[in-house]
């Protein structure tokens, strides 16, 4: 089976992990800081805080934005569950903004209309999680303007977008978002097995994130309520977690970061090849946005179902039967039973639902060969023929 995504590891990655295994620090050691500093430099951000996965990163990013009970978090329905669940972890209400029918990202115009209504109703959000779907940022310029006007915090969920850029600068640089979250799960652009990171330019947020990552503890006398009792002393000043990444994972992530450009270049090449090979099939291809350079985590197509005799499900299952591990990103989050239990229903976000009825993620990862890709295209051609 050709998977839809997979990691690319080499001997240097393995050696980097083994080196840490033989060192004094398996966790809470110096490799974590090296990984953070390398990522901050790469993204032109002032601070980077590494954690055990992007879900934890989103959780503490929301807490650092002071999201709590009585507050609202908005996000896209076309995302992984974690982009919405982080709001629920904080006791906040979650709501969604429908997607743009071309980019499949949260629609900034729909956002503007919803904000105008929310202002009248007194239901403005405190946090917006702007998901860079498939590796392409949302209309961040407009979103940042709206954030200024309506006073909400923008957290960019860039789990798909490590190595992407927007408006000529790396995603994560903090020009359009207070915090940017990355995931290093093996299907993403670079991996640390499990791992996540938050980038920010605001020192107070970085400080708070570090504290929340480790039990809400501080060893900094400036943040204590009374003078130190001695060299052993620490204080827990708020409720935090153990969301730490290990040095083993950080070593893998750091080694992978050295190959980020190469990985993204191959993903772009494969995406451009799909664009060419699929141009005459009854499918709608991804639409690049002017200011956004995607990292190409996903290559998603939409079946033009009215031009195809098989159903969406039949084409999907036909591809699986032909040994192609296609996937579907995403089932609209508001249709999940948990969110239906909170009052959402079918029909609430029609663009995301129409998208769900047509979308298929084709295999895309650096080690996918041209021959494998030709096989994917050939099978798709066979299944979409009238
Ligand atoms: C993968 C992913 C996450 C969660 O990442 P983990 O590191 O697995 O916790 C969050 N948001 C999006 C959009 C993702 O794709």
Q: What is the pLDDT of residues 234-279, one digit of tens each?
A: 999 999 999 999 999 999 999 999 999 999 999 999 999 999 999 9
Nearest-atom index, ligand 1, CA of 83: 11
pLDDT digits (tens, 9 = 90+) for 78-135: 999 999 999 999 999 999 999 999 999 999 999 999 999 999 999 999 999 999 999 9
Has residue 42 got a pLDDT over 80? yes
Question: Does 194 lie in the same domain as 136?
Answer: yes
- Region of 255 please: left (phi>0), alpha (psi -120 to 50) or beta: alpha
- The last residue of a domain, from among 235, 257, 279: 257
pLDDT digits (tens, 9 = 90+) for 201-223: 999 999 999 999 999 999 999 99
Cis peptide bond upstream of 330, omega within 30: yes
Question: Does 266 lie in the same domain as 224?
Answer: no
Q: Structure tokens of 329? A: 């990103």
Question: 280 CA distance to ligand 1 centroid (A)?
Answer: 33
Give me the pLDDT at residue 67, please: 98
| Total domain count, the chain | 2
Burial of 254 (0-12, 13-18, 19+ CB in 10 A): buried
Has residue 359 got a pLDDT over 80? yes
Determine the Cα–Cα distance for residues 120 and 345; give it in Å rounded to an integer: 23
Question: 266 CA distance to ligand 1 centroid (A)?
Answer: 22
Residue minimizing CA distance to atom 10 of ligand 1: 82
Task: Residue 73: give its domain's CATH number.
Answer: 3.40.640.10
- Of residues 114, 126, 188, 259, which has the active-site annotation? 188
Question: 133 CA distance to ligand 1 centroid (A)?
Answer: 11
Q: What is the 3-state secondary structure (H, E, C) of the chain?
A: CECCCCCCCCHHHHHHHHHHHCCCCCECCHHHHHHHHHHHHHHCCCEEEEECCHHHHHHHHHHHCCCCCCCEEEECCCCCCHHHHHHHHCCCEEEECCECCCCCCECHHHHHHHHHHHHHHCCCCCEEEEECHHHCCCCHHHHHHHHHHHCCEEEEECCCCCCCEECCEECCCCCCCCEEEEECCCCCCCCCCCCEEEEECCHHHHHHHHHHHECCEECCHHHCCCCCCCCCCCEECCCCCECCCEHHHHHHHHHHHCCHHHHHHHHHHHHHHHHHHHCCCCEECCCCCCCEECCCCCEEEEECHHHCCCCHHHHHHHHHHCCECCECCCCCHHHCHHHHCCCCCCCCCHHHHHHHCCEEEECCCCCCCHHHHHHHHHHHHHHHCC
Determine the Cα–Cα distance for residues 94 and 110; give it in Å rounded to an integer: 16
Question: Does 359 lie in the same domain as 221?
Answer: no
Question: Does 310 lie in the same domain as 163?
Answer: no
Q: 79: Cβ below 6 Å to ligand 1? A: yes
Question: Does 234 lie in the same domain as 178?
Answer: yes
Treating both helix axes as pointing N-terminal to C-terminal, what angle do 247-257 and 11-21 enclose, rounded to 10 degrees?
150
Active site residue 259: no
CA 353, chain centre distance (Å): 20
- The last residue of a domain, from among 257, 272, 298: 257
Give me the pLDDT at residue 386, please: 76
Question: Does 265 lie in the same domain as 249?
Answer: no
Question: Does 244 lie in the same domain as 126?
Answer: yes
Q: 183: Cβ below 6 Å to ligand 1? A: yes
Question: Does 227 lie in the same domain as 126?
Answer: yes
- Report the C-alpha dihedral over residues 47, 53, 58, 60, rounded to 10 degrees: -70
Question: Does 148 lie in the same domain as 117?
Answer: yes
Question: Does 308 lie in the same domain as 210?
Answer: no
Candidates 130, 122, 131, 183; CA nearest to 153 is: 130
Question: Does 130 lie in the same domain as 185?
Answer: yes
Beta-bridge mates of residue 95: 74
- Region of 30 please: left (phi>0), alpha (psi -120 to 50) or beta: alpha
Q: Structure tokens of 250? A: 């950080």
Who's near 84: CB < 8 A, 6+ residues apart?
A: 73, 75, 94, 96, 129, 333, 339
Candidates 139, 149, 25, 76; CA nearest to 355 is: 76
| Inter-residue contact 91 to 68 (CB < 8 Å) | yes
**What is the dihedral sign for C-alpha 142, 144, 149, 153?**
positive
Task: Residue 317: give its domain's CATH number.
Answer: 3.90.1150.10
Question: Does 203 lie in the same domain as 85?
Answer: yes
- The last residue of a domain, from among 208, 225, 257: 257
What residues make up the domain containing 187? Answer: 2-257
Give me the pLDDT at residue 112, please: 98
**What is the dihedral sign for C-alpha 247, 252, 255, 260?**
negative
- Region of 168 please: left (phi>0), alpha (psi -120 to 50) or beta: left
How much of the chain exceeds pLDDT 90, in percent? 99
Strands 169-170 and 179-183, bridge-based pairing: unpaired
Q: 62: Cβ below 6 Å to ligand 1? A: no
Q: 196: Cβ below 6 Å to ligand 1? A: yes
Question: 386 CA distance to ligand 1 centroid (A)?
Answer: 37
Q: 136: Cβ below 6 Å to ligand 1? A: no
Quickly tell me which residue has 């451009």 as its tokens.
272
pLDDT digits (tens, 9 = 90+) for 279-303: 999 999 999 998 999 999 999 999 9
Give me the pLDDT at residue 84, please: 98
């Amino acid at each position: 089976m050709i998977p839809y995504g997979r990691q690319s590891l080499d001997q240097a990655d393995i050696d980097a992990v083994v080196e840490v295994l033989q060192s004094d620090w398996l966790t809470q050691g110096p490799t974590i800081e090296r990984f953070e500093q390398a990522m901050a430099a790469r993204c032109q951000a002032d601070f980077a805080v590494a954690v055990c996965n992007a879900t934890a990163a989103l959780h503490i990013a929301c807490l650092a934005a002071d999201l709590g009970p009585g507050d609202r978090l908005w996000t896209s329905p076309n995302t992984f569950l974690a982009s919405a669940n982080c709001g629920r972890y904080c006791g906040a209400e979650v709501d969604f903004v429908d997607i743009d029918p071309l980019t499949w990202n949260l629609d900034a115009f729909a956002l503007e209309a919803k904000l105008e209504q929310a202002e009248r109703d007194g239901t403005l959000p405190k946090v917006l999680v702007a998901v860079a779907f498939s590796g392409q940022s949302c209309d961040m310029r407009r979103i940042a303007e709206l954030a200024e006007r309506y006073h909400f915090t923008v957290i960019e969920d860039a789990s798909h977008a490590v190595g992407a850029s927007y408006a000529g600068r790396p995603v994560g640089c903090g020009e359009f978002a207070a915090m940017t979250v990355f995931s290093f799960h093996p299907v993403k652009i670079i991996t640390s097995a499990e791992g996540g990171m938050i980038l920010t330019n605001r020192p107070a947020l970085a400080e708070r994130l570090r504290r929340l990552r480790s039990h809400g503890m501080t060893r900094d006398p400036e943040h204590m309520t009374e003078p130190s009792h001695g060299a052993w002393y620490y204080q827990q000043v708020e409720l935090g977690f153990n969301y730490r990444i290990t040095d083993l994972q950080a070593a893998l992530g750091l080694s992978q970061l050295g190959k980020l450009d190469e990985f993204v270049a191959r993903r772009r090449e494969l995406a451009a090849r799909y664009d060419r090979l699929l141009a005459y099939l009854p499918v709608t291809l991804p639409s690049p946005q002017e200011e956004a350079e995607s990292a190409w985590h996903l290559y998603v197509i939409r079946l033009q179902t009215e031009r195809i005799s098989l159903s969406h499900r039949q084409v999907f299952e036909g591809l699986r039967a032909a040994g192609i591990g296609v996937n579907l990103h995403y089932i609209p989050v508001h249709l999940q039973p948990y969110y239906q239990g909170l009052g959402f229903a079918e029909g609430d976000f029609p663009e995301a639902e129409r998208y769900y009825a047509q979308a298929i993620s084709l295999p895309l990862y650096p080690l996918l060969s041209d021959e494998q890709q030709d096989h994917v295209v050939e099978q798709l051609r066979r299944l979409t023929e009238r």
